[in-house]
Structure 1
Amino acid sequence: MVHIFDCADVGATLVRTARAQGRPWSYLPARDTSQDGKELRGRLKRLGGVAGWTARRWSLTLPADFLHIHFGTRVDIATRWPQRPYIVHFHGTDIREFYNDPRQRPKIQWGADHAAAVVYSTPDLRKHAEPVRSDAVYLPNPVDWAELPEWTPAGPPRVVFASRWEDSKGGAEQLKVAAAIRDVTQGRVVLEGLDWGNMAEEARALGVRLVPKMPKAEYLRWMSGAHCVVGQSAGILAMSELQALSMGVPVVMNLGEGYYVDAPVLDGDGPEGLAAQALRALEDPLAVSAQANARAWVEKYHGPDAAVEKLAGIYRGVMAGR
């Protein structure tokens, strides 16, 4: 089994965990394009990079039984030699947004039609994935414990907005939550978020201090210093929210009805209710964290070992049906 491409390091976590269990899974992320360019040196770098990546794909695929392709727009890799049966893994934007683009839909639908199986990463995607492939299966995103820093809230009370400011993350509602927290704390709290998304400037105007996009390890350290994290307003626990919960940071957000069982988030009635929950967390974040015991919940529902076992069962079913 070869995992090709990735999204939010889900594939990397699955393969690393599987290999620790003795499973012979392999991993091939997208090619590094940072050295590509239009000048001669950049073009040569690109040619060498493509050749090296392709050779690696061949060496991994030839002995493999089948492929696990991450992200629905990248299924054309399944048509290239050496071909193998494959699984498609929807991660969000691919099936939620790109599938509605007439330029992308035929490729995504072709990939789902010809796949041995289809999985999707968050519960909100069910209504998008099942019309495309009726037997699509929910595979919860796994959290990699080893990459998480220790939660160390320090300094002035700080609330971090974990997601980018755009529609797919419920950006308009996030702005309302930011304004409500600013008002209820009377400016005594530092509000921080990413300088990312088409509504970022509106967040800045509300008093949110925006920080640049950053490498993953730095992003996790940034979240680990927060007294409270505000999750996205789209109603799902994406990787950022799961990582915050795993570190013990109190997470304020509302979840979609029926999406999760007893998730340890601080929910509230509208922006004002969420702001009140944020204020409660800020008053004693360590006590709120201890009461939530979120790490145990994440381990039960999003632990990497459980995710690998579920995926291995899907693989076994595919192999049995060949």
Structure 2
Amino acid sequence: MRICEINDIASVASDLAEGLRARGHDVTLIRPRLVGGRLPWSVKPVVGPVRAVEWAQIIHTIRSGNFDAVHIHYAYLGMLGVLGKFPYVLHCHGSDVREIRPYTRPMVLRALKEASHVYYATPDLAPFVTKRRPDAEFLPNPVDAGAFRPLSPARESRRVFIACSLTDIKGAPRLLNACRRLADERPDIGFTAIGGGEYTRDFARLPNVRLIPHQLRSQLPRIIANHGVVLGQVLLGVVGMAELEAMACARPVVAWFTHDSAYPEPPPLVRALDGYDIAHAIIRLVDDGDLRQSIGDASRQWVSTHHDAGRAAEVVEMAARQLMSHR
């Protein structure tokens, strides 16, 4: 089949594209520029004309590309299929359905309604998506366990890598509280974090935190390998690609997760919610190399089983074949 993947959220589309190619399909990946994507919602309509030109170009590419199936990532972008009058599979990823704005609400609802099939990437999105599409499916994000693999044993390092962005939605204030506690209680425990979120300056003031600039995805396995513990998001009760890729690198991940029922077996995460619990979970892992290693090994096995890229590609392939049969 000729399949088009549109919009590479958290590298999910590119990983699916590789998985589909491995299954013998011809896959094109389109990465919209999404001009003005970081602007405040109040001024986003200003870039509407520029977006309209880009959307028209994408629609032309799709309609002239003789694709058998189109898989669109991010809810409101499903309007490409609505406006272009071509069938599509829609994939919801988070804020696209969790934080619907007045500007995007009509587009999101229309895109959900007219999609041939709908997936959502994390289990917390179910209430938002299934309200409009009861047939929507949870599709665990594909993790490239070949690229994200253990380059060193977890027991070799006592340093902590903060894998998530330093933002409110990831629970950065709670992570900051834990780092502050440990700066006083255990100044020997060092952290590394990638700067860029709204709490970057707060973390930069701490003596136990080293900030590094945004990294290419290809560099992340090496960075993770230099740390024995990974600290992830602690607000929404889910884990994203950053945490999953760290687990694939056989690292214990401290995070908050509340959706065990979404999987046949719960993930071997070290669960902590507030600054006190996070700090003490980190101390326990830093002080026990064998514990780091055993949880890390179990984490890689769990991700390989439940977030297998080949399995995710197979699921999308089935949706694409079903879409073809109804054209």
Q: TM-score, normalised by structure 2?
A: 0.82
Verify the 8 A CA contact 1:151 1:248 in the aligned structure 2. no
Q: Distance in 2 between matches of 1:17 and 1:125?
A: 24
Q: Give the superposition deviation at 1:60.
A: 8.0
Change (3 A) 1:61 1:167: farther
Match of 1:44 in 2: none
Match of 1:18 in 2: 20
1:4-33 superposed Cα distances (whole Å, 9 cap, x missing partner): 111011111111111112234332223598
Q: Give the superposition deviation at 1:94.
A: 1.2
Change (3 A) 1:293 1:155: closer
Match of 1:91 in 2: 93
Verify the 8 A CA contact 1:6 1:71 in the aligned structure 2. no
Q: Distance in 2 between matches of 1:57 and 1:189?
A: 54
Q: Which has the higher contact order (CA 8 A, sep 6+)?
A: 2
Q: Distance in 2 between matches of 1:32 and 1:112?
A: 20
Q: Distance in 2 between matches of 1:223 and 1:57?
A: 41
Q: Give the superposition deviation at 1:108.
A: 1.4
1:130-169 to structure 2, matched below 5 A, reads: 130-148=130-148, 150-152=150-152, 157-169=158-170
Change (3 A) 1:28 1:92: same
Verify the 8 A CA contact 2:119 2:139 in the aligned structure 1. yes
Q: Distance in 2 between matches of 1:169 and 1:16?
A: 28
Match of 2:32 in 1: 30
Match of 1:41 in 2: none
Q: Distance in 1 between matches of 2:187 and 2:284?
A: 16
Change (3 A) 1:125 1:223: same
Q: Give the superposition deviation at 1:189.
A: 1.4
Match of 2:271, SS?
A: coil
Q: Give the superposition deviation at 1:177.
A: 2.7
Q: Give the superposition deviation at 1:59.
A: 6.9
Q: Distance in 1 between matches of 2:63 and 2:326?
A: 23
Match of 2:179 in 1: 178
Change (3 A) 1:59 1:88: closer
Verify the 8 A CA contact 1:140 1:302 in the aligned structure 2. yes
Task: Say if 2:273 is the partner of 1:272.
Answer: no
Match of 2:9, SS?
A: coil
Verify the 8 A CA contact 1:66 1:84 in the aligned structure 2. no
Match of 1:8, SS?
A: helix
What is the root-mean-square deviation of aligned Cα atoms in Å? 2.9
Q: Distance in 2 between matches of 1:2 and 1:19?
A: 11
Which segment drifts farther, 264-273 or 196-205? 264-273
Q: Distance in 1 between matches of 2:62 and 2:116?
A: 22
Match of 1:227 in 2: 228
Q: Distance in 2 between matches of 1:106 and 1:158?
A: 46
Match of 2:118, SS?
A: strand
| Structure 2, unaligned runs of 5 or more | 36-49
1:301 aligned residue (277, 294, 306): 306
Q: Distance in 2 between matches of 1:109 and 1:55?
A: 21
Verify the 8 A CA contact 1:268 1:274 in the aligned structure 2. yes
Match of 1:37 in 2: none
Task: Return the letter of the residue paired with 1:212.
Answer: P
1:194-209 to structure 2, matched below 5 A, reads: 194-207=194-207, 208-209=209-210
Task: Return the letter of the residue paired with 2:303.
Answer: V
Change (3 A) 1:296 1:154: closer
1:65 aligned residue (65, 68, 74): 68
Change (3 A) 1:295 1:162: same
Q: Give the superposition deviation at 1:241.
A: 0.5
Verify the 8 A CA contact 2:92 2:121 in the aligned structure 1. yes
Q: Distance in 1 between matches of 2:151 and 2:289?
A: 11
1:215-294 to structure 2, matched below 5 A, reads: 215-233=216-234, 234-258=236-260, 259-260=262-263, 261-268=265-272, 270-285=274-289, 287-291=291-295, 292-294=297-299
Which segment drifts farther, 60-69 or 189-198? 60-69
Q: TM-score, normalised by structure 1?
A: 0.83
Give identity over the alignment, percent: 27
1:30-70 superposed Cα distances (whole Å, 9 cap, x missing partner): 3598xxxxxxxxxxxxx9xx89x948962785321231111
Aligned residues: 302
Verify the 8 A CA contact 1:228 1:285 in the aligned structure 2. no
